[in-house]
Every structure is written in structure tokens, then in C-alpha cells.
Chains A and B, each alone.
Chain A
């Protein structure tokens, strides 16, 4: 409470009567309209609280007289974006994949959209940069393709997936577990022969023995020189890229008890336009054929 209103000697003004440790406050009145602005903001706040969602309740909240919600705003915005995209999506759906790749406008749209779609759907297995992951998730940026790297191959793989039971057209291939068919010695010989494709065999005799076994068991899917057979998804064995590792031990392990990855079909889960955009995007990542 103000205790002592004084007239300040120096300025001739009155004090407010407040005193803090000997420091007194001059009464320099604020203009009235300033006070009215404060009242106006209080009224504004009250009206605002009445119109818009404001007070919490025990079950739910007071939603405001206008019934406005941010969720509706967002739904509207999302719908507006979808509408704006619709003509381009239609063009992507109806344009030949090769033409999309050649048309700078379509290519830019496809790349921008697919980058996001790739990050949302593909990156968990193939990596954010499509660099693949150890343990059988193939890189999509190199020039080695198990099922083919043309635009049509890629779009088919995305649509139907690989080795899944959900899509009748899924790409299927099955490598037998040779641990139950061949002896340990025979497997080692075949591995030696496989190493010879990349000039890494150290035991010429074993490789020679392995050649016969390879001709009998492996050649149908992996080709005579290990060049792979895409029609059946038999990977190349004569290049520098190995899905499950290219060392002698890793090759033996794969022959003995093969691991094979699964990819779900994306048809039905993603819009056809997005699938086509993804195919173009993956194709531009550096390995497209």
C-alpha cells in the first residue's frame, strides 16, 4: 500500500507513495488510452476464448462457438494439395516411363515426389540413399540387378514384390539348401570354382572338381560363367557385388544354407502414379539400364 505521497523536490512531481529500500517512485501518469488498450486486449482475449477452442473440461474441452478445429484446416489443406497434384499424377499414370525420364518437367516432379515416397516406404530396407543394407537388402544405386534394371523391370518388381505370398505375380526364386544335398567337401569345391569367376581361386584342383558340380547344380540359375540369369532371379557371381558377402566363407555359408530376401508387393498399397515415380527415381539413382 502506498504509505507516503510526497512532492519530489527536484521535479516538483508527486511520488506514488511506493518506496523500496529508500528508492521512491515518481508518479508519471500513463496516458488513459494506454490503459484502454489494456482493457481492449482483455476483452479481445475473452471473445477469442468464446469463439475458439479454449477451456479444458473433465471429458474433452470447450470447442468454441465457431466450431473451428485445426484438424479440419489440415484436412482441407491436404485435399487442396491433392487436387493441385491431380493433373500431374494423371500425366504420370498415362505417360510411358521412358518418356517421363526424358521430359524435364515430369522428371522433376517424379524425382521430388518419389524421393519422399522412397524415404517413407523403401528406405527401411534399402537405405535412405538406396545404398542397401548388409544382410541381403540390395543396393539400388549400383549397376548390378538380380531381376533387371530397366524401367519396366523395376516397376514390375515394385508392383509385385519378391518371394511374397501376397501377390501371384511376385518374382519367385528358390535356391536349395545344398548343405543337405552336397557334402561339405563338394560345397568347398564349388565355392572355389565360384571364386575363380573373379580370379580369386587359390586351389586350381578344387576349382576343377567344383566345375563339374557347378555344371550339374548351379548353371541353370547362375549361368556358365556365373553371369547370372535374370529371368529366374539368379544373381551374377562374376562381379564385385555380393549381396551376402563375397569372401570364401560367406560363399560357402550361402551355398550351404541360402538366405533369400522378401519384398512385399506395393501395388494396391501405393498409388499407381507413385509406383511409376518410384521406378523412375530408382532408375536415376545411378544403375538404371
Chain B
């Protein structure tokens, strides 16, 4: 916030006016069209982001018999996340958590370097709002035409334009909601089901919900989502510091602002001609010349607008620019003794401070980012396709058989992440001459028994381990169950204990 330090704080002015309303009508924003580097970048990212969003569910990734062939599939019903070559089971949800942590820390890092590029370019709210605004501009015209249309007569042309616009918005909103549900089910099947009325109630609910939110948030609410609803603008300030690049109005160069006629000298005044182009193009309707503010999404469209004006009036670009607060303050200090006018520019350039990319904040973010990424890579690399877990019976902890031998019961869960049925050989270490038996295949008993596991599932087997009669056993013996696969390699192992009565 720019502060006028000349105001006398001691005597607040008491007004006799009636209290202002606590609720205000929204002032509708009519952003004007603009050309330039930032606008091009914003459109480029918009096309990229939407292309990814709409095409990703349609990409295939063959996984073999019995498994879905969708590249990205979050199969909640089947409890599997398919992400390309990686298949995530419920117990591996930490990988998803890691991915979310990576995204969050990545966002922190990018914000600490380049300010709110997420808000200005990548946030879905920004992307769809921008798309909706583009459609609006194609149908209703630019800023002045739209303002005139809204204030003008409600004639046929008015209704034709409005209906066309809202219809197009709704189509895009529906495509958005429709695409969202394709991530959680097989895309071609889901699309056919949606249009033939065969899809489930949840599918329609989510399509409807996201159609509604896309239409209202991108079409109607727009900048109010960022200003009133989104928590991110509230705490993103914690990620920024005086070395972060933010969209800045260089007041030392622009002030005192004022109208300028061609041929008038620039000495003794600022470069800002108060043309309000920066305000007109702003998608959130703010005046960047007021300084850093919560509503600014850092998209840089005002930079494009101002640069175009500077080109036209023959002043150097960069009155509004991506700059660090540190540099702005350094320039302000440097030019304090120089009177306003073109003379300030070389003075400020001499005092220019380069942005510090390496600083504790960015290094900490980068460190945490690398650490999480390393842990994730390690987890992915050491991920096994077979897991074994053993739950031992606790009621009772052991069974005494009629011949005096002791038996313990265990439930073995074999996680078979491969897509083929497998038969393992179970053996037990740590208990001499123990006999194994499994429920369902009681005929086969001995030192080793076969255990089967269906493809892509968890097989549960109840296994009885009997110590031979007369064996002298301690109260607790540590035993290791080993699963040997068909190739003779150990596929998984798990430890447990064998309990016997106290002697």
C-alpha cells in the first residue's frame, strides 16, 4: 500500500454521513484486450494446460490382460491409481501424498522466486476465466463495446449475444465436468455411458457439479474467487520476500503522474500519463499503481499495456515491470535527490540491484523439494511386486493338541501386484521340524506348502504351524515365513513369533 506520510494521524476526521453499507454490489470488471509478451505467454500456457486436461484421459498405456489400459486412471472403486508405468495400491498412498507435498513445496519455491505465477497463469480459476473472457470478447466485443452493451437497450442483438455467450460457456463447463470424471473411469466407456444415460448417479452428480462450478466461477464470480474465496492470496505473502519478482509500478519513475500532451517536456514530471490502460486490462480490476495488494494475481497484463503506451509516447519500457521490492527501494533511495524526470532513469540504473536467487528461503524450499523427491524415487525404486504380511491368532495364542504338540495359527496376506496368477512355496525358518498346513488345501502338509495368489489382488490364507510332539519350546520363538516364487527366488518374507505354553 502506498502511504501518504503527510496525513496527520492524531486527528481522525469524524464524518456526519450515515454509516456505509456493510454489503456492497460487485463492481463489474470489463478487462480490455491487450497484446504483448505476458499476454502471449498466458495464452500459450492456457492452450497447453487445457490440452493436457482434455486429452490426458484419452491416452492409453497397455498393461496386459485384465488391467485397464488408461495412462492416468484413478480407480477409486478398484482401489488402484494407475499413473503410467506406476500402479499405486492403497497401502502405497504415501506416494500420492509425496506427490502432493512435491507440488506444494514446488509452488512455494516458484512463488518465492517469481511471485504469484501460479495465480496468474496456472491456476484453473485463471485458466478457465481467461478462456471465458476470450469467448466473451469474441461475441460481445472489447471493453467499451461490452460496457455499452450492458448499459444499452435490451434488444434482440443484446439477447442474441448474451444467449450465445452463456450457451458456449455452458458447453465448455460441461466438457470440463465431463472430462473430470474421465480420470476416475475408463474414458471411452464413460463417455458412451454418459450420453446413453447408463452412467452411475455419482458420475452425473460430479459432471453436474463441475459444470455448475465452472460456469459460475469462471463466468460469473471470476476475480471474486481470488479475492473472497481463495485462501492462497492470504498466506502466499509468507512465501514472498523483498527478493521475489512481483508486478511492480515504479513510482520513482512514474510520479508525479499526469496527462501529457505531445511535445511537452518530460522534465519535472513522472512518466505515468495516467492513461489508466493498466487498470483497464487488469482481470481483477485493480490499480497496480497502488502498490502490492491482495487482489493482484501477478499475471503481468498491465506490464504489456503500459509497455505499449510507453512505446507510443516514446518513453522507455518498464514503468510497470516484474521487479523485486529490494530493487524498487534501492532505486527510490538513489533517485531521492534527483528531481522527477528522465534524469532519474540513469541514476536508478546505476543503483540497480540484481535479484538474489540464492537465498536461505529458496535454498530451504529447494532442499525440502530434493529431499522429498529423493525419498519418492527411493520408494519407487525399491517397490516390490509381492508383499507378505502375517497376522497371528491371539485368541487363543496357541493350541495344545491331543498328542501334546503345540499349534499356532496365522493369517497370511499375500499381495500379488503382478497381472498373472502365481503359486508360491511357503517355508518357515526358526522352528525345527514344524509342519505347515493351510485351510482349503489341508491334504498338502509338510515343511513347505504351496500358496496361490490371484492376479492383481490380495490373497488371504489361514496357515497352521504345528511344532512336533515332545519338542522343547521356549514361550516365544521368532519365526520367519518365506515365500518362494516359481523361479525359486525368495519373493517376500515376514517375521512373526511361535508361542508355546509356559513350562
Hey, which bits of chain A sit against chain B, CB under 8 A? 2, 4-11, 14, 16-17, 27, 29-35, 101, 104, 107, 111, 127-129, 131, 139, 141-144, 236, 239-241, 284, 286, 288
Indicate if B472 sits at the interface (CB-CB under 8 A): no
Q: Nearest CB to that of A17 among chain B residues?
A: B19
CB neighbours of A16 from chain B (8 A):
19, 22
Q: Nearest CB to that of A11 among chain B residues?
A: B1
Q: Given contacts A8-B12, A129-B393, A284-B439, are A29 and B21 in contact (CB under 8 A)?
A: yes
Contact in complex: A9, B12 (CB < 8 Å): yes
Contact in complex: B3, A32 (CB < 8 Å): no
Q: Which of chain B's residues 318-347 have a Cβ closer than 8 Å to chain A?
A: none
Contact in complex: A129, B395 (CB < 8 Å): yes
Q: Given contacts A10-B7, A31-B224, A142-B401, are A5 and B21 in contact (CB under 8 A)?
A: no
Indicate if B23 sits at the interface (CB-CB under 8 A): yes
Contact in complex: B402, A32 (CB < 8 Å): no
Chain A: minimal CB distance from B284 (Å)? 14
Q: Nearest CB to that of B27 among chain A residues?
A: A31
Contact in complex: A142, B23 (CB < 8 Å): no
CB neighbours of A236 from chain B (8 A):
402
Indicate if B163 sits at the interface (CB-CB under 8 A): no
Indicate if B396 sits at the interface (CB-CB under 8 A): yes
Contact in complex: A241, B400 (CB < 8 Å): yes
CA distance A32 to B401 in the complex (A): 78
CA distance A33 to B24 in the complex (A): 9
CA distance A35 to B394 in the complex (A): 59
Q: Nearest CB to that of B405 among chain A residues?
A: A240
Q: Which of chain B's residues 415-448 have a Cβ closer than 8 Å to chain A?
A: 439-440, 442
Contact in complex: A7, B402 (CB < 8 Å): no
CB neighbours of A139 from chain B (8 A):
396, 399
Indicate if B8 sits at the interface (CB-CB under 8 A): yes
Hey, which bits of chain B sit against chain A, CB under 8 A? 1, 3, 7-9, 12-15, 17, 19-26, 224, 228, 393-396, 399-404, 407, 409, 439-440, 442, 462, 464
Q: Nearest CB to that of B12 among chain A residues?
A: A6
Contact in complex: B403, A240 (CB < 8 Å): yes
Q: Given contacts A239-B403, A240-B403, are A141 and B24 in contact (CB under 8 A)?
A: no
CA distance A6 to B26 in the complex (A): 23
| 23 chain-A/chain-B pairs, Cβ below 8 angstroms | A5-B15, A5-B19, A6-B13, A6-B14, A9-B12, A10-B1, A27-B19, A27-B20, A30-B24, A31-B228, A32-B24, A32-B25, A32-B26, A34-B228, A107-B440, A128-B395, A131-B395, A143-B402, A240-B400, A240-B401, A240-B403, A284-B439, A286-B464
Q: Given contacts A33-B26, A107-B440, A284-B439, are A2 and B400 in contact (CB under 8 A)?
A: no
Chain A: minimal CB distance from B360 (Å)? 32
CA distance A240 to B470 in the complex (A): 12
Chain B: minimal CB distance from A195 (Å)? 15
Chain A: minimal CB distance from B218 (Å)? 16
CA distance A68 to B381 in the complex (A): 54
Contact in complex: A29, B24 (CB < 8 Å): yes
Q: Given contacts A7-B13, A104-B440, A284-B462, are A31 and B26 in contact (CB under 8 A)?
A: yes
Q: Given contacts A142-B400, A286-B464, are A29 and B26 in contact (CB under 8 A)?
A: no
CB neighbours of A34 from chain B (8 A):
23, 228
B-side binding surface: helix, strand, loop or mixed? Answer: loop
CB neighbours of A2 from chain B (8 A):
19
CB neighbours of B8 from chain A (8 A):
9
CB neighbours of B395 from chain A (8 A):
127-129, 131
CB neighbours of A239 from chain B (8 A):
402-404
CA distance A143 to B8 in the complex (A): 97
Contact in complex: B23, A35 (CB < 8 Å): yes
CA distance A24 to B145 in the complex (A): 42
CA distance A2 to B1 in the complex (A): 27
CB neighbours of B409 from chain A (8 A):
141, 286
Contact in complex: B23, A30 (CB < 8 Å): yes
The one of A7, A30, A144 in contact with B15, judged by C-beta atoms closer than 8 angstroms, is A7
Chain B: minimal CB distance from A275 (Å)? 19
Chain A: minimal CB distance from B82 (Å)? 27
CB neighbours of A31 from chain B (8 A):
23-26, 224, 228
Q: Given contacts A9-B9, A9-B12, A30-B23, are A144 and B396 in contact (CB under 8 A)?
A: no
The one of A127, A143, A284 in contact with B396, judged by C-beta atoms closer than 8 angstroms, is A127
Chain B: minimal CB distance from A97 (Å)? 14
CA distance A286 to B404 in the complex (A): 15
CA distance A128 to B393 in the complex (A): 11
Highest count of chain A CB atoms <10 Å: which of B8, B12, B13, B404: B12
Highest count of chain B CB atoms <10 Å: which of A16, A30, A107, A143: A143
CA distance A17 to B228 in the complex (A): 23
Q: Nearest CB to that of A145 among chain B residues?
A: B402
Chain A: minimal CB distance from B473 (Å)? 14
CB neighbours of B404 from chain A (8 A):
239-240
CA distance A180 to B20 in the complex (A): 104
Q: Nearest CB to that of A7 among chain B residues?
A: B13
CB neighbours of B399 from chain A (8 A):
131, 139, 141-142, 286
CB neighbours of A143 from chain B (8 A):
401-402
The 10 closest A-B pairs by CB, nearest first: A129-B395, A29-B24, A239-B402, A131-B396, A284-B439, A144-B402, A240-B404, A6-B12, A9-B7, A7-B13
Chain A: minimal CB distance from B328 (Å)? 20
Contact in complex: A241, B402 (CB < 8 Å): yes
CB neighbours of B17 from chain A (8 A):
5, 14
CB neighbours of A111 from chain B (8 A):
439
CB neighbours of A101 from chain B (8 A):
440
15 more A-B contacts (CB under 8 A) besides A5-B15, A10-B9? A4-B14, A5-B19, A6-B12, A6-B13, A8-B12, A9-B8, A10-B7, A17-B19, A27-B22, A30-B24, A142-B399, A143-B401, A144-B402, A240-B403, A241-B401
CA distance A140 to B216 in the complex (A): 65
